[in-house]
Structure 1
Amino acid sequence: MTTALSIDSPRVEDGAAIWRIARDSEVLDLNSSYSYLLWCRDFAATSVVARGVDGEPIAFITGYIRPERPETLVVWQVAVDEAHRGRGLAGTLLEALATRGAAHGVRMIETTVTPDNTASDRLFASFAARRGASLEREVLFDGGLFPDGGHQPEVLYRIGPITPASG
């Protein structure tokens, strides 16, 4: 079992550690370090971080509320530090974020997953099953839309309705 001291909202001073976890994942599209600082400032209420016993972030989920759909939480990135992988920490963070969101009117979760990302597919499919929610998948962005070439399509996962977790 992962020894996370706590799960809470990220703080600005967590931005650098979150950036490093994203970079070291080697699967996420890495954003600028500046964007992680902004994320920790502007979207802390819709994001979560797990802290190790030393208080440093060991995993995170960043998310935001869709402006046109305030009942929808978009999960932007999920990452777990390599030393803490394989212990269900991403699922624990997703549950915590969904429970927090449901208490504030979130009824749907959206995210995108590339076809080769089996870990994320399992994470979101098992989350939907645990919550008894439907899971719909459709291509949101075809790979050809990305300017850097060679990008896989981003498949939209729409999960809902989200209700508070039961006992």
Structure 2
Amino acid sequence: MRYDDLADFPCSITRPLVILGDRWTLLVLKTSFTGIRRFNEFQRALGVSRSRLQDRLDRLVDHAILAKQKTPGSAHEEYRLTEKGHDLYPILMAIKDWGDVYMAPEGPPVHYQHRGCSGEAHVRLECDCCGSGLTARDIELAPGPGLLTEDGDRSRPDRAKT
């Protein structure tokens, strides 16, 4: 299967990887969350080639994760996170949490602190029904409404391939 064909694969983990699945895209997003908005600022912060950066910014704009806007009172344009873009923050924080545990032998290089109380920010997976904390060992898969059955029918989840 080609990489672009994965966009149609019925999986809510696989589909976003078509957009987000390379390091430069995630680094552009990480940098966006620090307040950087202009092309030259991204290029200076990341050290990525101009063509690669433009490709990643265009992809994020095409998918409404970033919005390209004129800077008020200036000829410059800037890239601003949309609500869809802001919703990606927990993903970056989950990667950060994992990196702090497994790839920071001297301790976290940066603390992500809550402005309100200076506590450390972490991602926590929990059940939306009972609120219990969860790990992969607590999860089981069940067919959802977006999964096609073998005959292409969405109306019978009991006949779906998982």
Larger radius of gyration: 2
Highest relative contact order (Cα 8 Å, sep 6+), 1 or 2?
1
**Structure with the higher helix share, 1 or 2:** 2
**Structure with the higher strand share, 1 or 2:** 1
**TM-score in terms of structure 1 length:** 0.30
**TM-score in terms of structure 2 length:** 0.31
